[in-house]
Amino acid sequence: MKTLTVALPGREYDILIENGLLSQAGRRCRAALPRAGRVALVTDSNVGPLYARLVRESLEGAGFAVEVIQLRAGEQTKCAQSLSGLWERFMAFGLTRTDAVAALGGGVIGDLAGFAAATALRGVDFVQIPTTLLAQVDSSVGGKVAIDLQAGKNLAGAFWQPKLVLMDPQALTTLSDATFSDGMAEVIKYGCIWDGEFFSFLEQRPCRERIMGEIEHVLYTCCDIKRQVVMEDERDTGIRMLLNFGHTLGHAYELAGHYERWTHGQAVAAGMVRAARLGHTLGVTDAQAAGRIAALLEQFGLPVEIPCTPEQYAAAIGLDKKGAGEDISLILLERLGRAVPKKLAKAEVLKLL
């Protein structure tokens, strides 16, 4: 068992990483939720048939009454209609403020169920049980929960820290290669922004089989970096913005594909390469960074360029949460392992793009 503690005063929680942890969900949740009698277990149509029964039986064995709520898989589910539907299901189940919501799935389910937990009854406890690589290394840690609006991704949300995060690396064995690679974009991001040695470690293991051979180390390293950042800047007003390297432009690419053609990981991959090249143009990023990032991403079948119109760039930058007035803090690299925010006029960024 590998354990990390996110030590936010009054909102501390553990991240547990161990093979077979899904079967221990009941015991682990009971320790973290001693007062809860009911757990609403939210999952999707991909993950539910694989793991919902195992987790439900484990929770029931620990004395919880469990309601499994299975939603359609896909980004389109992360919407206001689904959020409202979860509220109604929670109330019909008899959820109270001493009960809890658990998210069993990837980032969509974690974000949606977390936002529902943050807002139902003005907030109930929440457990993350991420089953994709992207969710395990990124979205399940740090308390950002949200839904999408027609205007863009994650534009309605909250900060709502979980009471516990349970990561079972064995769940990753059922992912398609494309979904696994989607998560690798976020794994590679951590090496880009924080730990150059970790980036080199990944370069030496440029395939799924070799990453899975050391997956607990990979998960621990990524979550430890995010844990440190979140403890210093929970509300995303300072250093936590560094975690959005590649995301400002990535959101433009997701928009360009109408949130259907390009996955989040694919869009972030292309966004990181474009940001590294932009940083070099601005004299911030060293000359080798973009090439090394692109080469590693391509080893995992991720795109390094995505077509995007000026209008799509403008829409994404205009809605970016790192923006303030006519300026934006664009996350750039000085070198692999060190990212910095650079305040630029939005018009200047668009001209450079």
> What is the per-residue pLDDT across 103-149, written as a single tens digit (0 to 9) for each?
999 999 999 999 999 999 999 999 999 999 999 999 999 999 999 99
Cα–Cα distance, 14 to 12 (Å, whole number):
7
Question: Mind listing the pLDDT tens digit for each residue in 184-238?
Answer: 999 999 999 999 999 999 999 999 999 999 999 999 999 999 999 999 999 988 9
Per-position DSSP letters for 114-169, written without gaps between them: HHHHHHGGG--EEEEEE-SHHIIIIITSS-EEEEEETTEEEEEEEE---SEEEE-G
Looking at residue 261, its pLDDT comes to 93
What whole-number distance in Å separates Cα of residue 288 and Cα of residue 107?
Answer: 32
Within 10 angstroms of residue 14's Cβ, the number of other Cβ atoms is 16
Task: Tell me the three state secondary structure of residue 100.
Answer: strand
On average, the pLDDT of the chain sits at: 96
**Paired residues of 50 in beta bridges:** none
DSSP summary character for residue 106: S
Q: What is the pLDDT of residue 320?
A: 74
Q: What is the pLDDT of residue 323?
A: 67
Task: Show Cβ contacts of residue 13 under 8 Å, excluding neighbours closer than 6 positions.
Answer: 5, 6, 32, 161, 162, 163, 164, 165
* Nearest C-alpha neighbor of 204 from the set 299, 334, 338: 299
Weakly modelled stretches of the chain, pLDDT under 50: none
Residue with tokens 């990981």: 265
DSSP 353: -
